[in-house]
């Protein structure tokens, strides 16, 4: 089983739609979690951290479910500019500094 | 402007010819790392550095070397490149995890 799994998509949604992605992780001792956004052929950019209590940043909401070992990203009122690949990142516990990136979920927002 | 600068952006080279990809950050970050990104495999960490003269292996260090003689620079060295090292490479830096800033990437082709 892969350490961090994401549905590659693509998710095709119209402007204004709400879309959600999940990401599952296998290491129950994982310590911290993040979502990154990557545009085609560009560098990944940190979108938001994921906190245990859930957190929101504008139209974006991130949730963590430790019991089921998944994190989610919800995008409300999708914009054309949200089209990108969304990467889930899980950092292990302890002294390791090797984060595990998911392969990404592709989102296409169309007019 | 805060940034991570990689050079070159594109490189085509031949098997066995030593090359260096440079990475420089202007944010006085302690933590720097190198990743490669391949289709279907996502981002994988090659090496990371917690500070000057402190480096450690990531997930896929074979065939690569790094050095951290100064805080701002973290070059990636391929002593004898092989075709399986053809990939998109990213350097990243942060004050602490996660990697908040990625370079623009270096697309390397080894023929």
**Region B17-28 average pLDDT:** 96
Nearest CA-CA distance, residue B8 and chain A, Å: 15
Please state, in angstroms and rounded to a whole number, the distance separating the CA atoms of residues B5 and B22.
8
| Chain A contact present for B55, CB below 8 A | no
**Region A31-46 average pLDDT:** 92
Residue A31 pLDDT exceeds 90: no
What are B75-84's pLDDT values in tens digits? Answer: 999 999 999 9
**Region A30-50 average pLDDT:** 91
The percent of residues above 70 in pLDDT, for chain A, comes to: 94
A43/B102 CB distance under 8 A: yes
**Region A93-106 average pLDDT:** 79
What are B36-55's pLDDT values in tens digits? Answer: 999 888 899 999 998 999 99
Of A1, A3, A7, A2, nearest in space to A72 by CA = A7
What are B87-104's pLDDT values in tens digits? Answer: 999 999 987 666 778 999
User: What mean pLDDT is reported for chain A?
Assistant: 91
Residue A2 pLDDT exceeds 80: no
Of B98, B102, B34, B1, nearest in space to A41 by CA = B102
B43/A49 CB distance under 8 A: no
Please state, in angstroms and rounded to a whole number, the distance separating the CA atoms of residues B74 and A91.
22
What are A6-15's pLDDT values in tens digits? Answer: 999 999 999 9
A97/B105 CB distance under 8 A: no
What's the CA angle centered on A89, arms A87 and A93, to 5 degrees? 175
CB-based burial of residue B39 (10 Å sphere; 0-12 exposed, 13-18 middle, 19+ buried)? Answer: exposed
Of residues B31, B42, B58, nearest to A98 (C-beta): B58
What is the reported pLDDT for B10?
Answer: 97
| Chain A contact present for B40, CB below 8 A | yes
Residue A95 pLDDT exceeds 60: no
| Chain B contact present for A87, CB below 8 A | yes
User: What mean pLDDT is reported for chain B?
Assistant: 93
What is the reported pLDDT for B40?
Answer: 82
Residues of B in contact with A45 (CB under 8 A): 102
């Amino acid at each position: 089983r892969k350490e961090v799994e994401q549905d590659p998509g693509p998710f095709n949604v119209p402007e204004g739609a709400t879309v959600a992605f999940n990401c599952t992780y296998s290491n129950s001792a994982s310590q911290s979690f993040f979502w990154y956004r990557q545009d085609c052929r560009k560098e990944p950019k940190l979108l938001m951290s994921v906190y245990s209590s859930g957190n929101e940043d504008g139209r974006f909401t991130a949730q963590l479910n430790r019991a089921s070992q998944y994190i989610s990203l919800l995008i409300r009122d999708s914009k054309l500019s949200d089209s990108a690949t969304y990467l889930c990142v899980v950092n292990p516990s302890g002294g390791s500094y090797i984060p595990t990136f998911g392969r990404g979920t592709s989102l296409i927002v169309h007019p | 402007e805060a940034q991570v600068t990689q050079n070159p952006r594109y490189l085509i080279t031949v098997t066995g010819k030593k090359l260096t990809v440079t990475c420089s950050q202007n944010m006085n970050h302690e933590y720097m790392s190198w990743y490669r990104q391949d289709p279907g495999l996502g981002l994988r960490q090659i090496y990371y550095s917690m500070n000057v003269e402190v480096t450690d292996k990531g997930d896929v260090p074979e065939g690569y070397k790094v050095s951290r003689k100064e805080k701002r620079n973290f070059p990636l060295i391929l002593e004898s490149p092989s075709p399986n090292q053809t990939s998109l490479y990213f350097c990243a830096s942060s004050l602490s995890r996660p990697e908040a800033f990625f370079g623009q990437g270096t697309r390397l082709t080894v023929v």
